[in-house]
Amino acid sequence: MGGHAARFYGVERNTNDFDLHLSPDCWDDIKAKIQASPLATNFKVVEGPSWRPGAFRRFQIGVLPSGREEWLEFWRHNHLLPDFHEVFDRREIGVYGGRKIAFLGLRDLIRAKETERESDWQDIALLEEFADSRDFSAVFTGDLDLPNALSRIRSRRGFESHLKASHFRDDNAIRQAVELTASPITEAFLTPVASRNRDAHFPIAAIEPVVRNRLSEVDPGTNLHFALVEIVRRRYKLAAQAADRADKESIRRTLAAPSDGGAS
């Protein structure tokens, strides 16, 4: 789900991540298992701080030749994703490093990266293009219907591909797409098209009225259209970063708070 997953999907990344998978039942014994493994030869494993100790743990297992600390990190849950079994059903399996590995589905990986870290959003920009390109190709192979492909456009390149293919002339597909849309970014891409379709109505308007009204007036695929999309994208990004930051701070306060076990 980390750097290796981004690299698997096409992001040029020389990651230092080392993926080690253990059963969730081993959660309480991870430190002992690492200490007993060849990974920590002649080094006393040290557990580092975590703002989500029930979901995320990290351990220093040594020092690299460069002098940098070497860490192993483990996720049991991810607060941005649904239940493991639901995510596992959407996994993708591919050959990586000479072995078949299961990765987060591409759309789930994008969601998992909507954190406060700027580097994650740089990955998202590339992954959104890859996802839209896949969906566009899947329409032609019959593996994905047009309404679903349109309902999750997240990149300018993806929108332009559908525009050139005249997919926005299909009124029925547009109507279904706007009903399926869950992202304000996709809503921003589709609003100029949907505004010309009397039967197309977004179930939840996620864009502030001033921007939405302007989007309904512009021609699709113009520079102004894309500029307005970027306004919506920036607001979405800032809101996601703020939510992730607030969530971490809330957990830190809870962990730092004294327990009520004492009595006087």
Question: What DSSP line would sit under 22-88, residue for residue?
Answer: --GGGGGGHHHHHHTSGGGTTS--EEPP-S-TTTEEEEEEEE-TTS-EEEEEEES--TTS--HHHHH
Q: How far apart are CA 88 and CA 33, in angstroms?
A: 25
SS3 240: helix
Q: How far apart are CA 245 and CA 20, in angstroms?
A: 27
Flag whether pLDDT at 175 surpasses 60.
Answer: yes
pLDDT at residue number 115: 93
Per residue in 7-36, pLDDT (tens digit) is 889 888 766 656 566 777 888 999 998 898
By the 8 A CB rule, do 74 and 65 touch? no
Q: What is the DSSP letter of 96?
A: E
pTM of the model: 0.83
Flag whether pLDDT at 262 surpasses 70.
Answer: no
Q: How far apart are CA 6 and CA 121, in angstroms?
A: 12
